[in-house]
Structure 1
Amino acid sequence: MDQLQKYKSTDKMMDLISDNYALLQVMSRFGVSLGFGDKTVKEVCEMNGVDSRTFLVVVNFMAEGFSRMNTDDPDAISIPALVDYLRQAHTYFLDFCLPAIRRKLLEALDYSENDVSFLILKFFDEYMHAVRKHMEYENKTVFTYVDALLQGKVLKSFQISTFSQHHDQVGERLTELKNIIIKYCPSTASNYLLHAALFDIYACEEELESHSQVEDLLFVPAILKLERRVRNDEK
């Protein structure tokens, strides 16, 4: 598998960051700490208790937009490692990224004289609620189902195709908010702060889209295979 990938286990972790700093977010969600010197990807992953093959599948997917993973290789990806990565991504969006944008909007907008400012914040709060509902559903329902599959049990109340068919692209809903800010934001708003908040909204939208693609194109196919294997074992 290494020969097919852009980034390999023998590459220095520092070189990955130098080549694509956006991979810092992937490292964070895998729980990889900084301060690793000139160690390789494999060495850094081992230091941090991270499955290096799963790490490489995700970073290469993020870099290239598709997966070169051999779907016939049962060890190509660790489902527990991938689930943990997705859980940490949810924590990042819900507890850090979106609240940080909200704080910038609060600081940038003048709520004393303009109804548009209230509309912007109201829309953003509704969006945050929708994202939280979506991700908490995944945490409580989807990942619980996967945990049961890993123990050799198929829960009758759910199947992964349901998730696949109804998986919202939550990042798309930020488009309307961006348009409201760009077209109708009051002139009394703090220019620097509002531009910074809008930049963060664009970045968050891209990150949410990448997150959804990891779920749809890496996570769901892996769980479909696991689901079939467990169902066959039950027969």
Structure 2
Amino acid sequence: MSLVYAEMPLSEIILNEPLLIPVINRFGIILGTKDKSVQTLCQENNLDTDFFLTILNTFINDSFFPEKRLKSFCVTQIVDYLSQTNQYYKRYQIPNIEKHFGLLIEKSPYKNNNLELIREFFFELKHELLKRIEDDQQSWFPKIKRLSANVHSQIPGFSLTSFLKDDPDPIEEKLNDLKSFFVLHLTGKYDLNLCYGVIFAIFSLEKDIKQNNRIRNRILKPLYHLLQSAEFSN
């Protein structure tokens, strides 16, 4: 999808990119937006329209990198958004996969499959993701907020792209492996509908994490490095 703008109806954007639904939910916007524009809905919900659009465009466009806008945003906005994202994973998406997985194993009429082994791999992935969320909440995010509060002078005016590096994420890789186990290596008989539900839930989490990793890597990490540089130079 091309870039989205303030005057566009949010409903049109969602219909083209339904995986944005949990993203707008994190901003307090729920479905039933009628034909209201992004600008109108942001005003009604006391949201920064530019920040909201930056998050949406970063989420749906792989090549989008808003260097000119980054330094005007409050770091707290970004940290709070990613904190809400982490909580969404923890409270909804991870339990959703776990619930569907449990039902799939319970309702499968035969036990000559390897679903239990695949679920064990999911539990390992879940532990790793929850650990990263805990590290974010207890260490990295507070450190960023502290740096932001301590830096009172203007952030140095050099290119943010010098910090831009999308390192491989082991959680993304493991989610891809988990999908592959279902597609390539699932054995025996099982409930087809419940199996589809598990795979779709995994795909949804993988897509969400992949796109929010771009927000972490393309917005928060560059700002974090700039704040560190600004603090050091003061």
The alignment's TM-score, normalised by the length of structure 2, stands at 0.81
2:62 to 65, 72, 82: 65
Structure 1, unpaired ranges of 5+:
154-163
2:131 paired with 1:133: yes
Q: Pairwise mapping of residues 1-235 of structure 1 onto structure 2 (< 5 A)?
A: 6-71=3-68, 74-75=71-72, 77-109=73-105, 113-114=111-112, 116-152=114-150, 168-232=169-233, 235=234
Q: Which amino acid aligns with 1:213?
A: R
Q: What's the secondary structure of 1:71's corresponding residue? A: helix
Q: Structure 2 CA distance, aligned partners of 1:64 and 1:119?
A: 36
Runs (4+) off by over 4 Å = 164-167
Cα distance per residue 1:154-192 (max 9 Å; x no partner): xxxxxxxxxx89883411112332333334434332111
CA drift of 1:44 comes to: 1.1
| Letter in structure 2 aligned against 1:50 | L
Q: CA-atom RMSD, angstroms?
A: 2.7
Structure 1 position 72, deviation (Å): 6.8
Whether contact under 8 Å (1:30, 1:84) holds in the other structure is: no
Give the direction of change, closer, same or farther, for the CA distance of 1:71–1:167 in structure 2 (3 Å limit): farther
Instruction: Look up the equivalent residue of 1:109 and give its one-letter code.
Output: I
Change (3 A) 1:17 1:182: closer
Which range moved further: 208-217 or 7-16?
7-16
Farther off after superposition, 143-152 or 26-35:
26-35
Which residue does 1:161 correspond to in 2? none
Change in CA separation of 1:194 and 1:35 when aligned onto 2, cut-off 3 Å: closer
Deviation at 1:82, TM superposition (A): 1.4
Q: 2 CA distance for matches of 1:213 and 1:89?
A: 13
CA distance in 1, matches of 2:179, 2:166: 27
* Counterpart secondary structure, 2:5: coil
Query: Would you say how many aligned residue pairs link Structure 1 and Structure 2?
Result: 219
Structure 2: 5+ residue stretches without partners: 152-164
Where relative contact order (Cα < 8 A, 6+ residues apart) is larger, the structure is 2
For the structure 1 residues 229 and 174, does the alpha-carbon distance in structure 2 shift closer, same or farther, using more than 3 Å as the test?
same
Q: TM-score, normalised by structure 1?
A: 0.81
Deviation at 1:12, TM superposition (A): 2.2
Residues 51/181 of structure 1: CA separation in 2 closer, same or farther (3 Å cut): same
Deviations 1:23-49 (A, max 9, x none): 222211222233443332122112222
